[in-house]
Amino acid sequence: MKLIYNDFNEATNETIITIADRYGRYTGKAKLHPNDTNNYIVGGTIAEARAKINFYKSRIRREKIRLQTLISLKNEFNFSPEGITFLNQKIEMHKKNIKDFETAIEYQEQYIKDYIKRKSELSKKIKERMDKNK
C-alpha cells in the first residue's frame, strides 16, 4: 500500500488522501472543524485513516469471494481426504483474514474517534490558557 494522492484545499478545509495497492485505489476525506482552519495535519491524519478503512473493506469483499468460491468448490466436487483437508485449511484462512480485516476497521474507526477527542481536548486547554493570559 502506498500514498498516491494528497491534497488539502484551503478554501473548503477538506483533505483528500488516496492510497493504492495492486488491486485498486482507496480514498479518504476529512473536512476540518472551523476551529482547525488550515491545519492540514489533522485532516490528513483523519483522511488517511478513512482511506485505510476503505482499503480493508475492499479486502473483506475479495476475501468473501475467495471463501465462497472455495466452499462451492468443496460442495460441488469429490476430493480425496487430503484435498478436503487442504480446502478446509484454506477456508479457515480466509475466514480468519476476514475477521482480521474487520478488527482493523474497528481499530481505525476507534483511532479516528480518539484522535478527534484528543485534538478537541488539546484545543480546549490551549484556548483556556490563552484566555487566562489575557
Which of 55, 72, 39 minimizes the C-alpha distance to 2? 55
Residues 17, 14: Cα–Cα separation, whole Å: 10
Kindly list the domain boundaries of the chain, sorted by start residue.
Answer: 2-132
For the chain, the straight-line distance linking the first and the last C-alpha, in angstroms and rounded, comes to: 48
Tens-digit pLDDT profile for the chain (134 aa)? 899 999 998 888 899 999 999 999 999 999 987 766 667 788 899 999 999 999 999 999 999 999 999 999 999 988 999 999 999 999 999 999 999 999 999 999 999 999 989 988 887 888 888 888 77
| Crossing angle between the packed helical segments 40-76 and 81-132, to the nearest 10 degrees | 160
Alpha-carbon torsion (94, 25, 51, 48), positive or negative: positive
Which of 104, 113, 130 minimizes the C-alpha distance to 26? 104
pTM: 0.87
Which of 38, 28, 53, 34 minimizes the C-alpha distance to 120? 34
Cell numbers 469483499: residue? 61
Q: What are phi and psi of 37, to 5 degrees?
A: -55, 135
Class of domain 2-132 as given by CATH: mainly alpha
Give CA 71 to chain center in angstroms: 27
| Cell numbers describing residue 66 | 475467495
